[in-house]
Structure formats: C-alpha cells, structure tokens
Structure 1
C-alpha cells in the first residue's frame, strides 16, 4: 500500500510540473496565441485573434481591425432543399455610406465641404472647392467622384457638383424615399443641373463614361434608362 501511495504522489507531482512548464512557456498568453495552435501568418484561415473558445472575451480595437484582412466562407446547408434565409443577408446602410464618402472627400486639400446623397442607384455629391480653372475643377471632380466609386457597389452612377446653389437641391432629395413616386423625376432634374454646371472628371474606362454609365458597346446597344449623362448629351434628360 505504501508503494502504491508513493506512485500516486509521484504521478501527481509530475503532472503539476508539466502544467507549470506549459504555463511558463506561454508566458501568460491565451492558447490561440500559441504558434503550435494558431500560426501568426496570413495563410491560416482560423486567425488567432478571433473571438472563440480560445479567446473568450477578447475585443479588438479599431486600429487592430483596420490592420486585418477580411475573410469569410459560407457553405450551403447540408440539408437538401433548405433555402438561403435572405433576411440574414446584409443590405447597404446608405447613410453610413454617404458619411464615409463625405469624410474621405474632405481629406482632399482642395475640398473644404462635401455633402453626399446615396440613393438605391446613384450618388450625388455637392462640394466646395477653391479650384477655379476648368482643368483644376475637372481634376477635383474626378478625385471626388472616384472617392465615391471606391465605397459603393459598382452598379452605382456618381454625379458631382461644385455649384453652391445645388447643395440645397441635393439635401432636399435626402428627405425623400425610394418608394416616392416623383423621386426619379426630382433626381433627374438635379443631375441635369449638375451636368450643366460642373465638369464630371475623366472617363472611368473605355466602356464607361465619366459617371460610370456603360456605353453602347457594353450594353449591346440596349437603352439604359439609368444613364442620365447619356440622356443629357442626347437632349433627352
């Protein structure tokens, strides 16, 4: 019995020593920070910073989040016939998008004020600039326009103006809703004034005009009622 007790005590002491050694090797870090569990490199799918069973209660700062890549993988349900729940798919928060565009736009040294309207299809930006010459105004318009294109989905068309009198028109549209019957007419009238008074920058590509509207080649020469700049050029707006 004495020999058996000694063996139990020895095993207990050995286990305690091993646990202590593991704790010392991790230097107080959580399990997910251990390279043996999650490697700190860009190739691992399960990133060591994620909040899970290894990092319970872990919260990252905005600076930490902005330094990371975004990666998400979705797999269809293994249950046959089960449909995707569309209510779980995120939609665009247009006000936050407008806020982001305006914030980025005013970081331009030549832009001192920017008001952005985001609808379901268009982005209208009214801004104040110290640019005077036609070339300088066009360059600033191009920079402001591309700021919006860097934020919104690619199907959007972007229209800009440095005409101070049109800022109120842009703001007035913000009180409307996508379901309003006359919203298309009001938007078209405002865009028409923007195109008349302000250069729209350079063409986005060989297949798109200054406002991101597809040309006839890309559309297969089918009429697109959303191409407001094209309608303006043809006198149909």
Structure 2
C-alpha cells in the first residue's frame, strides 16, 4: 500500500514538473519574441505606419512638383527705379546640379562637372567616344544656356584637367582677392577647346540685342 502511494505520488510530481517546464518554455519563447520585436501584431502595425508615411511623402512630392508658378503686377505696383537694380536670386548649387544631371543623361557622357558663378557657367565633361568634339561641346553648352538667364556666359571643355581647375573654385567667394584672376585664367584655357560655335554666336547676338534694348 505504501509502495503504491509512493508510485502515485512520484507520477503526480513528474506530471507537475513536465507541465511546468512546458509552460516555462512557452513563456520564454513569448518573452523572446516580444523583446526581439517579432510579435506579429507589432510588426503589422509598424509596417502600416511606414506605408502610410511613405504614401503621404510621395503625395507631398507630387503636389510640389505639380504646382504652377504665377505672378501678376501692374505698373503702379512696381518701383521702376528699384526694379532697375533688381536681380534674380538663384541657388547656384541647385542650378549646377540641374545642368550636370541634364548633360549626363545624353548617351556617352559618363562624367560631367559644372561650376556656376554670378555670371558664368563652367562645364567640364568627358567627350563620348563616338562623338565629334564640336558636337559634344554644342550639347554641353546648349544645355547650360537653355537653363540659365541670358546674361550668363557658358564655357565648356573636354579636357580632363578642367575638372580639377573648376573644382579648385568650388569653395571660393566672388569677393575673394584672387577669385577673378583664377576664374579668368581657367576660362582662357577652356576657350582653347571647342565651344560649340553655332550656339555661341547665336547666344552672343541675343545677348547683345538684350543689352541694347536696356540702354
């Protein structure tokens, strides 16, 4: 009788131990899954929030790029004396970035660098292998002219040294002592390479006409 009770007691205790281990292991897995961020509901909520944020951001970008620009003035609203000294404020870094991206989209242009000053644009590029130098210069120059106010002069060069030259000016200011001398020296070297003569002549004529109208 005592032996039977002992056996039953042992079986009951073993059952409790096994059940406890199973429960403990399950709890450990749940704890680990939660701490590691693997909870299914938690991930689902995070994914939904991220998707909503990305959708809102995309909608905002589309709205900005889709907006039109419109301004209207009457003669009486403008101070003509002050207007004669007015100039267009322009983000030169953004303009240099735009010109560079536009040129490099053409087939064969593998590397392009652009420097925008207050009235000049210097463009360095690697000439496409199967393209004549004059044609490459015309593409680069015409792209710059199409994106800038007409008072800008655009100079291009397919010489590799030009990349280094215009890069040396990237941190300069137009008021620096040696700025003008360095800039003019670089421009003179760039002029020794093809400049897209037809585009240059057309732009020069338009620029002279605009200057004569303002006199």
TM-score by length of 2: 0.58
- One of 201, 210, 214 as aligned partner of 1:209: 201
SS in 1 for 2:149: coil
Runs of 4+ in 1 over 6 A off after TM superposition: none
| Alignment correspondent of 1:193 | 189
Please give the alpha-carbon distance, in whole angstroms, between the structure 2 residues aligned to 1:220 and 1:66: 34
Please give the alpha-carbon distance, in whole angstroms, between the structure 2 residues aligned to 1:151 and 1:219: 17
Please give the alpha-carbon distance, in whole angstroms, between the structure 2 residues aligned to 1:73 and 1:219: 23
Q: Which has the higher contact order (CA 8 A, sep 6+)?
A: 2
Q: Give structure 1 stretches of 5+ with no counterpart.
A: 1-58, 222-237
| Alignment correspondent of 1:124 | 122
SS in 1 for 2:197: coil
8 Å contact 1:98–1:116 — kept in the other structure? yes
Q: CA deviation at 1:115?
A: 0.5
CA RMSD of aligned residues (A): 3.6
TM-score by length of 1: 0.53
Aligned residues: 151
| Alignment correspondent of 1:166 | 162
Change (3 A) 1:195 1:68: same
Structure showing the higher helix proportion among its residues: 2
Q: Give structure 2 stretches of 5+ with no counterpart.
A: 1-57
Change (3 A) 1:124 1:89: closer
Stretch of structure 1 that moved more, 95-104 or 63-72: 63-72
| Alignment correspondent of 1:94 | 92
8 Å contact 2:151–2:207 — kept in the other structure? no
SS in 1 for 2:194: coil
Please give the alpha-carbon distance, in whole angstroms, between the structure 2 residues aligned to 1:119 and 1:216: 18
Q: CA offsets, 1:86-142, max 9 Å, x none? A: xx9861110000000001110010211110000001000011122366xx1111110
8 Å contact 1:131–1:140 — kept in the other structure? no
8 Å contact 1:113–1:128 — kept in the other structure? yes
| Alignment correspondent of 1:74 | 73
| Alignment correspondent of 2:23 | none
